[in-house]
Amino acid sequence: MLLKRLGLAALFSLSMVGCTTAPNTLAVNTTQKIIQYERSKSDLEIKSLTLASGDKMVYAENGNVTGEPLLLIHGFGGNKDNFTRIARQLEGYHLIIPDLLGFGASSKPMGTDYRSEAQATRLHELLQAKGLAANIHVGGNSMGGAISVAYAALYPKEVKSLWLVDSAGFWSAGIHEALAGATLENNPLLINSNEDFYKMYDFVMYKPPYLPKSVKAVFAQERIANKELHAKILEQIVNDNVEERAKVIAQYKIPTLVVWGEKDQIIKPETVKLIKEIIPQSEVIMMPEVGHVPMVEALDKTADDYKAFREKLNK
């Protein structure tokens, strides 16, 4: 079935670019069907909250309201569908999966603070509104990992555990050689054309799942349209170091699972050494033959490792 065959690839692409209007109506309609199919399989409902700032935050939530709440935070260029497929393997938890401000279907104000602490504060507002802030497990990929660290540092007594997946923000470890010469004018994560998007898709993952070029071209349009905003956000991210905040996690001994793809070309795998130094209680899992997004590239293993980590917390 086409929806099943393309589901993983399309969802990853959506996680990188969000929803889009595009010239190819058939491709857009097919993609929308894939998204709804995958969300339905994962028992995810799309909701929204108007923040105190007046901005709208859109999020996905599963139906397991009796499970322990787990906040999942996507990375740069991503959205809530980054976690849609793995969500069905995490059905034992009460999942809250937002589109961060600036991404997905959430508001995209140009002049806003997009650094980790500001995003974490917005997420806390969301969880407070839902009555879930008091005892929350938090996980994030890439930029979402940095935001997870900031969240735990701001609200250490409320966070029960952390899950950092190829986390950004630990910049003392140095820049990956694949991005050593990157600038805001010449960066593989900022998209100027369809061809840029095709290259980015292969760059982020070690073994990227199949996706037709016609569908990639649809997604490229959104990245091209939002390039100015994305450049502003990226500039803030690369100057936002969370290492001092991570010391709060060590101080409060918050249980932490660190997962990293050994073939990550975005953030150096050696970063795990620095994280382990700062957060001594952290458990580290390296994933061979995996790039920057383990929850997409190695879904089963990533989910199993996380559930095993959570089970140990209950012993």
Q: Which residues are the active-site residues?
A: 74, 142, 270, 292
182 token code pair:
């990157």
Is the C-alpha dihedral spanning 195, 196, 198, 202 positive or negative? positive
DSSP-derived letter for residue 88 is G
Retrieve residue 176's tokens.
């990956």
Interatomic CA distance for residues 117 and 139, integer angstroms = 15
For residue 112, the SS3 value is coil
- Buried b / exposed e over 35-48, threshold 16 CB at 10 Å, is bebbbeebebeeee
Cα–Cα dist 280/196, whole Å:
39
Alpha helices in the chain (DSSP H): 2-17, 25-41, 84-87, 116-130, 143-154, 194-204, 213-225, 227-238, 243-251, 271-278, 294-297, 299-313
Q: In what order do the strands lie in the sheet with 283-287?
A: 44-50, 56-62, 94-98, 69-73, 136-141, 159-165, 256-261, 283-287
Torsion over CA of 71, 201, 11 and 290, rounded to 10 degrees? -60
